Structure 1
Amino acid sequence: MNYYSTNHKAPTATLEEAVIKGLAPDRGLYMPEEIKLLPASFFNHIDTLSFQEIAFEVATCFFGNDIEAADLKNIVCDTLSFDIPIVNIENNIYSLELFHGPTLAFKDVGARFMARLLRHFIRKESRGQVNVLVATSGDTGSAVANGFLGVDGIHVYVLYPKGKVSPIQESQFTTLGRNITALEVDGVFDDCQALVKQAFMDEELNRQMRLTSANSINVARFLPQAFYYFYAYAQLKRQGRAGNVVVCVPSGNFGNLCAGLFAHRMGLPVKRFIAANNANDVFYQYLKTGTYTPQSSKQTLANAMDVGAPSNFARIAALFNGNHGAIKAVIGGATYSDAMIRESMKGCYTATGYILDPHGACGYRALKEQLQPGETGIFLETAHPAKFKETVDDALHINLPIPDRLVAFMQNEKQSVPMRNDFHVFKQFLLSR
């Protein structure tokens, strides 16, 4: 399958080219030329399939023309070595727990898949070293760093905003060493993302280094996230609750919601989506006004959603041909202050005993406010609440235990490089490596 740029000023690319390049030469995001519709028979028996079997069917639609079936199956099964269960929180509201992977965050799926796909291409073509650039507001850095850790022929540079990720999140990508370099940028997430995008557009840098991105701008990162939407539906179907499904996605850079929209285009029976924002409400305002106006990001308790210029808005616009009405027909919105996030965490815990992380709290609250009679709601619980222990403890007045996997990261020594928010400084650092 070929991939086109959302800016429509670059040649189409093969899957391998799109994955290696990350960003199209015209600064657009790659989109598949075709979104294949899965047959009705697949949904009729989806509840009898394992997570890996479901994911392989979906992956075949995206990547089956470019990768041998046996290789693709190995990539899928190696990626999905953990479960992603739905948990009934109350009445008709379910949590899709995406934190059972190695770094306890939803990005383990996309990052692990991309690492294995990139390794497949490198081995196949005997390529030289590939340098992966990734900007993170929290969990992307840890998922990508751990997904690529020790992979021959790949070096990862993680750019993160100084003082704006939780200590536990920071420890997951600054303590690894080996082929992982953490850059502590004096700025916000949008600054980190801008540095990555500038790097891809710099001719000298690209002549001397093979660069790709592991943010959700890369098709190999965001497309595999469609897997767990299908799996969530399969689990609901096993319980006889698969009618009138509404999915609420805590949204920052909008790669996760994009993956859900792709699943919907492939035939997944979702009635509608809700994009739950924190105070960074660019998309919420777009839904209200029809005008997309990026802003400087605001720092909030739900830091992984602190994005003022979401890259994947371009993909949503492309998917709906820029039709604001068509987007509103499928996607609703919500926006919550820090005080409302704390209130939601406390209310859910008091009523049900379930502990939400700040991002999941946005999704849970949006469903509580917007779910209609006869609908079944799923919100994405995108990270383990212990990754935000200080916030959780403060909101719920508890002492949340930290899982052993996170404790192990925190015991290692921090290794990071301070970096000014200056592209010239960043470029010279990369060229000196």
Structure 2
Amino acid sequence: MKYYSTNKQAPEASLQEAVIKGLASDKGLYMPEEIKRLPGSFIDDMKNKTFQEIAYQVADAYFGEDIEANVLKEIVYDTLQFDTPLVQVEKNIYSLELFHGPTLAFKDVGARFMARLLGYFIQKEGKEEVNVLVATSGDTGSAVANGFLGVPGIKVYVLYPKGKVSAIQESQFTTLGQNITALEIDGTFDDCQALVKSAFMDKELNAKMELTSANSINVARFLPQSFYYFYAYAQLAKAGVTDEVVFSVPSGNFGNITAGIFAKWMGLPIAHFIAASNRNRVFLDYLQTAEYTPRPSIATIANAMDVGDPSNFARIQELYGIFDNPWERIGKEILSYSYTDEQIGETIARVYNKTGYLLDPHGACGYQALVDVKLANDQVGIFLETAHPAKFLQTVENIIGTEVEIPTKLQKFMLGTKQSIELPKTFEAFKNYLMNL
């Protein structure tokens, strides 16, 4: 399988090149030349398969031409050492709980898969060292750092906005040491993301060190996230639910929803998507105006979605560019809703008091969007609960007025000592740091 750039000005790449480079030389995002459609018999039989069995078949469609079957199977099975259960919250609305992995966030799936795939390629190429740059607004940093922790030949640099991630999230990537370095940037997530992209384009820096990214711009990070869309559908089918499915996806950098769109194009019967956002509503504005206008991000209590220029929008444009009127087609298949901090808080409190189910701020946006869209009688809604509520401890406790139990996995991170390096948001400072390592 070859991978091409969304900007169409870079040479095609193999999977190995696309994963190691992360970003194409023309600043575009890599896309597979083909999205293989899975047979209907596989979709029908998923209810009889395990998460790992389903994920392997999906992974084989993406990567089977480039990775030996036994190696790919080992990567998939080792990645998915935890469940992503579907939990009914109320009639026709289900939560896909993606917080049962090592760092209690959905990004554990993509990060663990990429760590294992990149490690395989490094060993295959005989490279001595690869440096992974990752910008985070919260959960990406912890998932990537823990996914790559101790992997031979890989050093990870996590860039995060100073004072804009929760204390628990911060502890998950600043206390690890070993091959993980946390860089505390005096700016926003968008500033961190811009530094990573600029690093890939700097010839002097790339001549000194092998760089790649573990953000959702990397195909090995976002494509595996389609696994749990298939598994969610399989769980519905196993429970005898055959209604049309609507997925509501908390959306920041849009890698998660893009993976869902890939799943739909591979044959998963999804009615449509909802991109649920906080006050950073650049996609909603695009749907309303047909104009994409990036802007500085706004800090919210759903901080992982504090993104004013989502990278994966380029992939969405590329996917729908085959249609005569891409904007119109996108609007039919992806709805969008935006919520303020106050509305998010009201949703968390209302659902907790009514059902006993505790949402995190991001999942609250996904849930509320399903309520607001007013599902048809023959539809069932699944929202992605992307992180454990305890990762936003003070925020959630203030909203519901009671203590939240902190899972043992999180408590262990909180016992560590913070290790981070503070940097201004200028590329010159970031480059100088890397050049002098």
Q: If the length of structure 2 is used for normalisation, what is the TM-score? A: 0.99
What residue in structure 2 maps to residue 123 of structure 1? 123
Shift of 1:431: 1.2
Q: Deviations over 1:235-290 (max 9, x none)?
A: 00011113210000000000000000000000000000000010000001111111
| Alignment coverage as a number of residue pairs | 433
| 1:404 paired residue among 404, 408, 414 | 408
Shift of 1:349: 0.5
Stretches of 4+ aligned residues off by more than 3 angstroms: none
Counterpart Cα distance in 2 of 1:6 and 1:329 = 22
What residue in structure 1 maps to residue 425 of structure 2? 421
Shift of 1:350: 1.0
Q: Does 2:337 match 1:330?
A: no
What residue in structure 2 maps to residue 201 of structure 1? 201
Shift of 1:210: 0.1
Q: If the length of structure 1 is used for normalisation, what is the TM-score? A: 0.99
What percent identity do the matched residue pairs reach?
65
Contact map agreement 1:79 1:109 (CA 8 A) in 2: yes
Counterpart Cα distance in 1 of 2:331 and 2:268 = 18
Q: Deviations over 1:338-373 (max 9, x none)?
A: 000000001100110000000000000000111222
**RMSD of aligned alpha carbons:** 0.6
Shift of 1:415: 0.1
Counterpart Cα distance in 2 of 1:22 and 1:230 = 25
Q: Deviations over 1:101-141 (max 9, x none)?
A: 00000000000000000000011111120000000000000
Shift of 1:307: 0.1
Amino acid corresponding to residue 421 of structure 1 in structure 2: K
Q: How does 1:221-370 map to 2 (within 5 A)?
A: 221-321=221-321, 323-370=326-373
Counterpart Cα distance in 2 of 1:235 and 1:398 = 32
Amino acid corresponding to residue 31 of structure 1 in structure 2: M
Q: Deviations over 1:390-411 (max 9, x none)?
A: 1110110010011111111011
Amino acid corresponding to residue 327 of structure 1 in structure 2: I
Counterpart Cα distance in 2 of 1:52 and 1:427 = 41
Q: Does 2:109 match 1:109?
A: yes
Q: Does 2:81 match 1:81?
A: yes
Shift of 1:377: 0.3
Contact map agreement 1:132 1:154 (CA 8 A) in 2: yes
Counterpart Cα distance in 2 of 1:242 and 1:419 = 52
Amino acid corresponding to residue 54 of structure 2 in structure 1: I
Counterpart Cα distance in 2 of 1:403 and 1:200 = 37
Q: Deviations over 1:45-90 (max 9, x none)?
A: 1100000000000000000000000000000000000000000000
What residue in structure 1 maps to residue 16 of structure 2? 16
Shift of 1:424: 0.9
What residue in structure 1 maps to residue 150 of structure 2? 150
Shift of 1:41: 0.6
2:31 alignment partner, SS class: strand
Structure 1 stretch displaced more, 131-140 or 234-243: 234-243
Contact map agreement 1:233 1:242 (CA 8 A) in 2: no
1:45 alignment partner, SS class: helix
- Which consecutive unaligned segments of at least 5 residues does structure 2 have? none
